[in-house]
Amino acid sequence: MNVHWKDKITEKIPEAGKWVVLSLSLIVYAFLSVTSFLSTAYFKMDYLETTYYKRDSLLWHLLAACCFLFFLYWVKKKEVLERISSKKLCIILLCYTAVFAGIWSVVSHAVPSADQAKLTECAAGFIKGDFYNLSPGKYLQIWPQQLGFTAYLEVLFRVFGPFSYSAGEWVNVCFICLEFYLIYKITDLLFADKKVTNLVLIFLFGFFPYMFFSTFLYGDIPGAPVALASVYCFIRFMREKRLSYGISAVLGLGLSVQFKQNNLIIAVAVILYLLMKGLEQRKKVCLLMIALSVLSVGILDAGVKKYYEIRSGYEIEGGVSPLMYIAMGMQESDMAEGWYNGYILGSFWECDEDFERSAEKAVQDIKDSVNNFISHPAYALKFYYHKTVSQWTNPTFECLWISHFEKVHDGPLYPVVQSIYEGKLHRLFLLFANEYQWILYACAFTGMLSLRKKCTLDQLLLALIVLGGFFFHILWEAKTRYVLFYAVLLIPYAALGCERIMSALKTDFGIKKKEAAAK
């Protein structure tokens, strides 16, 4: 009897897990759809990175909705999605993306600034044997999580020469194309529906913010496609049990975290997915994959640090406590609620750059913020509302601001480029991106709604990652650039939603039924 009940419970857990992911996703997507429909968060193109809000135009939204529905109607009537080859459309998309992102890298004359500049300086120094930034109190001792991406830059600079910004940007173009390709492949794998796959490719044609990020020399760009490649391989491994997919999945997950430590969100989502698959399929290989994934993340992190400790002679210590990011994420900022406000560095120096003391201070500051929120619930609600919409309703995701906020470029800007940054083309881009964003969120909601009756754990993996990113950045430091990766992961669900909308559209308006009745 006990064994019987254990089996019953084991069978119910994956179903309960799917229900939780579906329910939370519907709530989150509905919230994003409504808030992005009502208002837009945006930046002025200055150094301050201050978030402003403006109420959206109902007229523009209605016009965009009508155009979008007419497009879907035309596509269904002409059977475009059925007739066009997904592979050919994907090739066209990748060529178009490479040309767009590549041209932008050339004509924008972007120069790495802020953290980008510091990381390129660190990597160039390593090539010359200069490990100053690994010495106590310096950049990589304060932010040791940046060491993995610095190692990548060092390899890049050894191949193309120190401070080869253009080479780094062209490699970024390849990574962006790889990410779009992987979204296409994952969609085809999850839904096995040519129409949905083609709709994903069509959506990607209009996702300009990612293409503009080709100038951004930071861990976000290489980390995202490597993480998606790992996700793809995990799904293939769980279906086919091929060793090559298992090895690629585990190594890719560890490597993606080295590029960008926030990819630990994806690692946690994958571990939860594997736990559910293990209960669903009753296979112990899932536990083995979880163990290997944890080892991959831990060993690669320890290995990179040890490598640079041996080369530099400096011991790499804890740096800033992660709790300080949570503490800062609960504070006011001139930029927006929960954004960067200088708290971390100031507090870290106040604690004499001691990891444990900084963690203790962060815990106390978190408690103070929690008590303040409890005492003022209306303020807390307003704070987290603004913190969330400041990240998710900015349709550009800082893609233009990131290469222009200091207005320093290594060459003259063409009038058209200047217009994209601050002129009429900038306003046109903002208008398009704003309409694209709320339609994306609304279609993702529709797609998730269509999965409520029947779906698989595989189909909800991307949604689980999005939920992880959404709730993580409610707690963590806020920045609209941070949620860009999760917005892209909504596209497969948005495409599914479009397919459901198309199924509901009538292309004959009852003419055939009337003709049949007349006969």
> H or E stretch including 41?
strand 39-43
Structure confidence at residue 4 (pLDDT)? 61
Structure confidence at residue 508 (pLDDT)? 57
Structure confidence at residue 354 (pLDDT)? 85
Single out the residue of 316, 200, 298, 203 nearest to residue 255, CA to CA. Answer: 298
CA distance 338 to 333: 6
Please report how the helices 147-160 and 285-312 are oriented relative to each other, as an axis angle in degrees rounded to 10. 70
Pairing of strands 51-55, 39-43: antiparallel
In order, the DSSP letters of 305-336 are HHHHHHHH-------S-THHHHHHTTS--SSS
CB 113 within 8 A of CB 408: yes
Residue 408 one-letter amino acid: V
Structure confidence at residue 2 (pLDDT)? 54
Structure confidence at residue 406 (pLDDT)? 80
Q: CA 24, 25, 26, 30: dihedral to nearest 10 degrees?
A: 110
Q: How far is CA 67 from CA 63, 330, 340, 472, in A?
A: 6, 41, 39, 35
CA distance 77 to 218: 44
φ, ψ for residue 327 (rounded to 5)?
-60, -45
Count of residues making up the chain: 519
Task: Give buried/exposed letters for 469-490 (b at 16+ CB in 10 A, else e).
Answer: bbebbeebbbbbbbbbbbbbbb
Structure confidence at residue 79 (pLDDT)? 87
Q: How far is CA 335 from CA 43, 45, 134, 393, in A?
A: 10, 13, 30, 15
CA distance 513 to 519: 10
DSSP-derived 3-state class of residue 42: strand
DSSP-derived 3-state class of residue 432: helix
CA distance 162 to 181: 30
CA distance 313 to 262: 28
At 299-357, the pLDDT tens digits run 999 999 999 999 998 998 888 899 999 999 999 998 999 999 989 988 988 888 888 88
Query: Which ranges of the chain have pLDDT less than 50?
Result: 1, 509-514
Residue 465: other Cβ atoms inside 10 A: 24
CA distance 265 to 21: 15
Q: What angle is formed at CA 70 by the lines to CA 69 and CA 76, rounded to 5 degrees?
A: 90
CA distance 111 to 23: 44
Single out the residue of 460, 432, 446, 459 nearest to residue 494, CA to CA. Answer: 446
Q: How far is CA 467 from CA 265, 302, 386, 476, in A?
A: 10, 28, 18, 14
For the whole prediction, is pTM greater than 0.85? Answer: yes
Burial of 381 (0-12, 13-18, 19+ CB in 10 A): exposed
CA distance 332 to 337: 5
